[in-house]
């Protein structure tokens, strides 16, 4: 009797599996539809986040009388990139109203104050109050009409950050 039940159970199982196989093929289609919907939802969420960041930046700019911010890995609005070399990977920054000044933050793969100093001096900036060691450095670099205060430091996690504060002479 047990052998007969086992044979019947196997037969029913195989029959059910064969009957369900077209439905299992349909699961791939359903998965594709669900994945497509999820991808579209993610794209819309990303677009909404980008728009929200832009609106927040616009609101800050308006509240601060024309100041601008950048958090997207770009230099801040109006930054004179053709005159002031920035080393490392730019993370963002800020700009004062009417081109009165800028702040830029970048990350470096190592403490490379010497390279940042050389880049500024190579662009014609004159250095003063420069000091550096294995953990970082700072200095002031001047080339009319800009003054750059550069600081580079390494945090406890080993992340090396460069901060550029740029002012315009006469502002």
Domain-ending residue, one of 14, 32, 63: 63
Collapse the DSSP code of 166 into the 3-class scheme (helix H, G, I; strand E, B; otherwise coil) and give the result: strand
Residues 56 and 86 in one domain: no
Q: Give me the half-sphere count of Cα atoms (radius 13 Å) on the Cβ side of residue 111.
A: 13
In this structure, what token pair is assigned to residue 53? 């960041």
Model confidence at 109, in pLDDT bands (50, 70, 90)?
confident
Residues 47 and 101 in one domain: no
Residues 42 and 88 in one domain: no
What is residue 77's predicted lDDT score, i.e. its pLDDT? 86
Domain-ending residue, one of 63, 96, 116: 63
Cis ω before 167 (30° cut-off from 0):
no
Phi/psi at 112 (nearest 5 deg)?
A: -125, 50
Query: CA-to-CA distance for 59 and 19, rounded, in angstroms?
Result: 61
Residues 99 and 120 in one domain: yes
Overall domain count for the chain: 2
Model confidence at 171, in pLDDT bands (50, 70, 90)?
low
Say if residue 20's pLDDT is above 50.
no
What is residue 18's predicted lDDT score, i.e. its pLDDT? 47
Query: Per mean pLDDT, which range of 8-22, 58-72, 121-135 is the poorest?
Result: 8-22
Say if residue 166's pLDDT is above 90.
yes
- Give the DSSP letter of residue 45: H
In this structure, what token pair is assigned to residue 150? 């550069």
For 66, residues 6+ apart whose C-beta sits below 8 A from its C-beta are 97, 98
Model confidence at 136, in pLDDT bands (50, 70, 90)?
confident
Residues 92 and 156 in one domain: yes
What is residue 98's predicted lDDT score, i.e. its pLDDT? 82
pLDDT tens-place string over residues 41-62: 566 655 655 565 556 555 554 5
Q: What value does the mean pLDDT of the chain take? A: 76
Model confidence at 80, in pLDDT bands (50, 70, 90)?
very high
Burial of residue 120 (CB within 10 Å: 0-12, 13-18, 19+) is buried
Residues 29 and 51 in one domain: yes
Residues 2 and 51 in one domain: yes
Residues 50 and 131 in one domain: no
More confident residue, 113 or 1: 113
Residues 48 and 76 in one domain: no
In this structure, what token pair is assigned to residue 135? 């953990």
Residues 70 and 54 in one domain: no
What is residue 71's predicted lDDT score, i.e. its pLDDT? 77
DSSP per-residue letters across 124-156: TPEEEEEEEETTEEEEEEEETTEEEEEEEEE-T
Tell me the residue range of the domain where 151 lies: 66-168
Ranges 33-42, 64-73, 142-151, most confident = 142-151
What is residue 24's predicted lDDT score, i.e. its pLDDT? 46
């Amino acid at each position: 009797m047990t052998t007969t039940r086992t044979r019947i159970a196997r037969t029913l199982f195989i029959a059910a599996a064969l009957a369900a196989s077209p439905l299992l093929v349909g699961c791939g289609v359903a998965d594709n539809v669900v994945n497509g919907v999820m991808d579209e939802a993610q794209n819309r969420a990303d677009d909404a986040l980008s728009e929200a960041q832009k609106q927040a930046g616009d609101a800050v700019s308006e509240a601060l009388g024309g100041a601008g911010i950048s958090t997207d890995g770009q230099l801040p609005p109006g930054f004179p990139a053709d005159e002031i070399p920035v080393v490392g990977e730019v993370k963002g920054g800020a700009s004062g109203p009417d081109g009165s000044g800028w702040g830029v933050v970048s990350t470096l793969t190592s403490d490379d104050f010497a390279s940042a100093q050389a880049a500024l001096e190579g662009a014609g900036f004159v250095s003063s109050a420069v000091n550096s060691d294995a953990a970082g450095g700072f200095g002031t670099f001047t080339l009319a009409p800009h003054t750059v205060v550069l600081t580079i430091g390494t945090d406890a996690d080993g992340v090396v950050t460069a901060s550029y504060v740029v002012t315009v002479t006469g502002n």
